Structure 1
């Protein structure tokens, strides 16, 4: 998901598996009928700088769809802070939209409710086939081996943004490629009276995204092959300790960032208070805060050594938004037509340009707008060195418990308390105990 929005997942602690027998959809009677073939309801996630911005982006496209199909789409843009809870309510009440955006990290959890239309071979055929989509984006659509619960709509990836002037003033020729280089650069930047790297220690989703990447770089996973939590294995402990250690040991992250929440690190970077930022497709956000593109560079997120790639050279989670259909929609045929429209090449170009994201539809990526130097970094990351967050039913609880553990470890670092292997393992052990029994 796009982490510049409020972290809805962090507020959710219930087990979605409890809703496995529930159904959702566009009408109280539901049942997957086509009894309202001329209307659809659509919950869009807040992708732009505000809800009104999203309406201005989306309404002309919905009008085009109406002219092409005769189907009127009733749009509601839902803030990220409300979206997941709204979806959960819809899965149990049966009163929700026909089509909706979901954060791609929620796919497996929402798949477990049984409320979403599975995208089997027959359904994929109605939108042109699954081979139109980038493989990494399809990897964040549900549990491996099951029919996807949604289809990719917007793709995002993390990159390292760096302030060119601050780097030049500190005598740094270019962006760091490894974490050791980043720590060394941070020292030079601090000697010039600037802060080095921004972070959001109170943002649970940001915490998860980063420690997931560090874990991959340590050859570790948070879950076993059969989906059981494994938060205290040596690789995960080392990964969390290294990330929090950027504040606790290396002084690369300012201690004040332990309390930072949504979007505060972006604001600091845009205002020249920090020299570096790890963020998802940040260009539009930085522009909205008055930072011109020529003031910053963009590079791949650092790795432990060498260059980004698969395996232990993973440097981003597969971020983005998926499009799902409630399987008891009152207009299933129209919903599939709408998904086909939104994932068509032309709409993919229009919408992903508007949101400075990358089309998950391979053929749409040929547009020159997605081949700028900045977008080339994001495209290459998604194609070569990004991995999907764990596609397990309890993924939302994972984000809550481990994200909170990292938040508490940042608080320790900010207070001057030692962040040790033992304290990290204890925090992760506590998080694992809070996971639902399997």
Structure 2
């Protein structure tokens, strides 16, 4: 059934690409016979981006960034902000119906599937020497030996945050760095900063509706154990390794063996975790760096470590990219727009609203200075997800199985065996 669906999608994509973006609202030439001051004048480029601004003003910010490009090239750039809730579905529907963008924003879990559909254009022929010298994370965008992606967001690392006042109230003077130290520290936490007993040593977001929970609460532990999620070829899931088994068992033990994670952890969302920590009711929480601004606003006396350690340090960092769509009529112009979007002046303007680290040498570091050391000193510990066929479906199954484990309905070995078996069916389609 899935193979049949893939054939249908491929056929639909072929028709969409044959029709070209001129029919679907992508790059279109000016009306016949009109005077054009240049080859790009009168054309329209469509760009799809997600909501990332802290002020929820992504559309306004990007429109301003596009203004000089539009004026210089005599083109119109239409920016559409696509909600996260149906992100991949929006792309799939748009591309197969011939209504896709010229330039898109994709995260690693979705990229390989769209490459297989023929929807993404390699950018090697457009990449200049200046681009290669300036852009910091080009290697992250090389898939199957080709430059399918140019990273635009590399950052928002997941870190382990702690409440200094709660630790002090429990007589804890040393910040744990290893798994064993973390367990022993959490066992000592009995009171909050004011001596009250309404406090949790550690909380996680296992009630969150999004598989992004795995970014904070599972993947880092696999990497800390020295493991990987997939083999280098992307043909097999490898959490049935010692590191993978240790990561799953570590979570199980935090919940059931040591009683560090409370029963309610299976209902907590990301917002719940931020609230509990901000209100001084949790000693430790895993959190993306951009979300920690809430702790400052709440007046929490907090600190962080990049990650715990078992065999090594390891944590998640986003590595999302701009992609050039195969359906773009004027691919050279669309790539020129990508260059403009990733330029230092554009990124400086963007990062005033969306706090991420620079992706090029032509921009200074404008993110929270507290996290500069994460990138300058712990760069080797930062991992992004690999581009693997069907990985979104695999991660979704992994997340559901881990949720069942945290509810006491699955055992660690079953989580691993059932997830790996399911991954095999996807990877071998």
- Normalising by the smaller structure, the TM-score range is 0.7 to 0.9
Q: Which residue of 1 aligns with 2:37?
A: none
Determine which of 83, 87, 98 is the counterpart of 1:79.
83
Structure 1 or 2, whichever has the larger Rg, is 2
Question: 1:123 aligned to 101, 126, 129, which one?
Answer: 126
User: Do the aligned partners of residues 243 and 112 (structure 1) sit closer, same or farther apart at CA in structure 2, a change above 3 Å counting?
Assistant: farther
Counterparts of 1:276-315 in structure 2 under 5 Å?
A: 276-283=284-291, 286=294, 290-292=297-299, 295-304=301-310, 313-315=312-314
1:377 and 2:377 are equivalent in the alignment: no
For 1:138 and 1:252, the matched residues in 2 are separated by 39
* 1:273 aligned partner: 281
2:93 equivalent to 1:89: yes
Distance, in Å, in 2 between the alignment partners of 1:77 and 1:31 is 16
Q: Where do residues 397-416 of structure 1 align in structure 2 (5 Å cutoff)?
A: 397-412=393-408
Determine the C-alpha separation between the residues in 2 that align with 1:265 and 1:150. 33
Which residue of 1 is the match for residue 35 of structure 2? none
In structure 2, distance between residues paired with 1:330 and 1:190: 63
Q: How does 1:228-239 map to 2 (within 5 A)?
A: 228-230=235-237, 231-239=239-247
Contact 2:45 2:76 in 1 (8 A): yes
Alignment of 1:31-430 (within 5 A): 35=29, 37=40, 38-49=43-54, 51=56, 53-120=57-124, 122-125=125-128, 128-135=130-137, 138-139=139-140, 141=141, 143=143, 145-156=144-155, 157-173=157-173, 175-192=175-192, 193=197, 194-202=199-207, 203-207=210-214, 210-230=217-237, 231-283=239-291, 286=294, 290-292=297-299, 295-304=301-310, 313-364=312-363, 366-367=364-365, 369-370=366-367, 372-381=369-378, 383-412=379-408, 420-429=411-420
Q: Is the contact between residue 142 and residue 391 of structure 1 (CA under 8 Å) also seen in structure 2?
A: no
Cα distance in 2, alignment partners of residues 354 and 406 from structure 1: 34
Match of 1:309 in 2: none
Deviations 1:304-332 (A, max 9, x none): 1xxxxxxx524112314311121211342
Q: Structure 2 vs 1, CA of residues 167 and 344 (structure 1 numbering), >3 Å: closer, same or farther? A: same
Distance 2:313 2:248 in 1: 16
Aligned-pair CA distance for 1:386: 1.4
What SS does the corresponding residue of 2:121 show, helix, strand or coil? coil
The offset of 1:271, in angstroms, is 2.7
| Alpha-carbon distance, 1:80 to partner | 0.8
Q: Is the 8 A contact 1:200 1:206 kept in 2?
A: yes
Q: How does 1:9-28 map to 2 (within 5 A)?
A: 19=9, 22=13, 27=21
Is contact 1:200–1:207 with CA below 8 Å preserved after alignment? no
Once the 2 structures are TM-superposed, how far is the Cα of residue 429 of structure 1 from its aligned partner?
Answer: 4.7
TM-superposed CA distance for 1:260, in Å, is 2.4
In structure 2, the CA distance between the partners of 1:271 and 1:114, relative to structure 1 (3 Å rule), is farther
5+ residue gaps, structure 1? 1-12, 305-311
8 Å CA contact 1:32, 1:327 repeated in 2: no
Note the C-alpha offset of 1:43: 1.4
Matched residues in 2 for 1:115 and 1:195: separation?
Answer: 47
SS at match of 1:161: strand
Specify whether residues 99 and 257 from structure 1 end up closer, same or farther in structure 2 by C-alpha distance, changes over 3 A only.
Answer: same
Q: Give secondary structure in 1 for the equivalent of 2:114.
A: helix
Question: How many residues get paired?
Answer: 403
Find the aligned partners of 1:187 and 1:351 in 2 and give their Cα distance: 43
- Counterpart secondary structure, 1:41: strand
1:192-238 deviation line (CA, Å, top 9, x unaligned): 43112221113422225543222223233333343233343343222
Structure 1 residues 91 and 386: alpha-carbon distance in aligned structure 2, compared to 1, 3 A threshold: same
Q: Specify every segment of 5 or more residues in structure 2 that has no aligned partner in the other structure, as ranges.
A: 31-39
- Kept in 2: contact 1:401–1:434 (CA 8 A): no
Contact 2:46 2:78 in 1 (8 A): yes
Aligned with 1:435: secondary structure?
helix
Shift of the alpha carbon at 1:400?
1.3
